[in-house]
Structure 1
Amino acid sequence: MGVMQERYRSIVDVHVILYQDGQILLLERRATGYADGKLHLPSGHLEEGEPLHAGAAREAREEVGVALDPGHLTLAAVVHHRQREDLARVGMFFVATRWSGQPHVAEPHKAGKLVWADPSLLPSNTIDYPAAGIRAWLNNAGYVPHGW
């Protein structure tokens, strides 16, 4: 009897596009060791036993201090991101047009300032991975591979 090979598993990321008055909210990464000084959406890893939309709402609360009803989130795009040869991630991008609370840097040890930006004219220091998800949303692409 042969050795059973473990099934492939990928990291699942949830990203939140907070969209208001034609602009989206980006955070400047700081002191994380990954893409510090660059802009990213509120995002993070899905946790065990957590539905995608609940994970997205949790990340928005943790990172920018807003309360979202997961039922009001719309799946905007899926990005299969190849971070490096031996690591891929599946990014689920959700759009929120309603929330309560004023966005602020809720994790100052991980983020610098907040930036409202026109999604069709992203700042040049926006990380490529979330930029791919934002472009997919704007173009109604649904799914895009990134880095393959």
Structure 2
Amino acid sequence: MKAKKQTRFSFIAAVHLFLIQNDQVLLLQRANTGYEDGNWSVIAGHLDGNEEVRAAMQREAREEAGIDIALPDLQVVGVMHRKAEEERIDFFLTAHTWRGSITNCEPEKCSALQWYPLAALPSNTIPYVRKALENYREGRWFDSFGW
């Protein structure tokens, strides 16, 4: 008798960018998405599949902020295993250099782009993003959130 093939569990994977300048991080205010609208986050997006993590972050930075970041300038600084409505793996990357002018390329999803001190984030920063930025400041590379 042939055994049934078991379906493997899979994660939703996302990348998040800590764009850093003078001890400040670029945040974006979400709008019209149905998820955390009005709250602050960072440039982020899902991996499309068949896409390396840094390449996905490079693509998202171009799509959301109109900037080009060379792959060697993107460093993975953290990973978070997160429980929301579903389980997720979030990769957090940092960049200190880029080409182009930062522009809100998705005004239908983002009402503002603004620099904030890493040590003084807005009170309405999305909680897991706040935790990831805290981890970055403290040199903590891995965390679980929402369990």
TM score, norm. by length of structure 1: 0.95
Give CA deviations for 1:24-46 in whole Å, capped at 9, x if unaligned.
00000010010100011000001
Match of 2:120 in 1: 121
- Residue type matched to 1:132 in 2? K
- Residue type matched to 2:75 in 1? T
Match of 1:68 in 2: 69
Rounded Cα–Cα distance in structure 2 between residues aligned with 1:105 and 1:2: 52
Matched residue SS, 1:133: helix
Give CA deviations for 1:42-69 in whole Å, capped at 9, x if unaligned.
0000111100000011111111111101
Write the mapping of 1:2-41 to structure 2, written as runs, cut at 5 A: 2-41=3-42
RMSD value, Cα: 0.9
Match of 1:104 in 2: 103
Matched, 1:139 2:134: no
Rounded Cα–Cα distance in structure 2 between residues aligned with 1:60 and 1:129: 20
Q: Identity of counterpart residues, as a percentage? A: 35
**C-alpha displacement of 1:137:** 0.9
- Residue type matched to 1:145 in 2? S
Gaps of 5+ in 2: none
Residues matched between the structures, number? 146
Give CA deviations for 1:84-118 in whole Å, capped at 9, x if unaligned.
3xx01111000000001111211111101112111
**C-alpha displacement of 1:121:** 1.6
Gaps of 5+ in 1: none
Regions of 4+ moved over 2 Å: none
**C-alpha displacement of 1:2:** 2.8
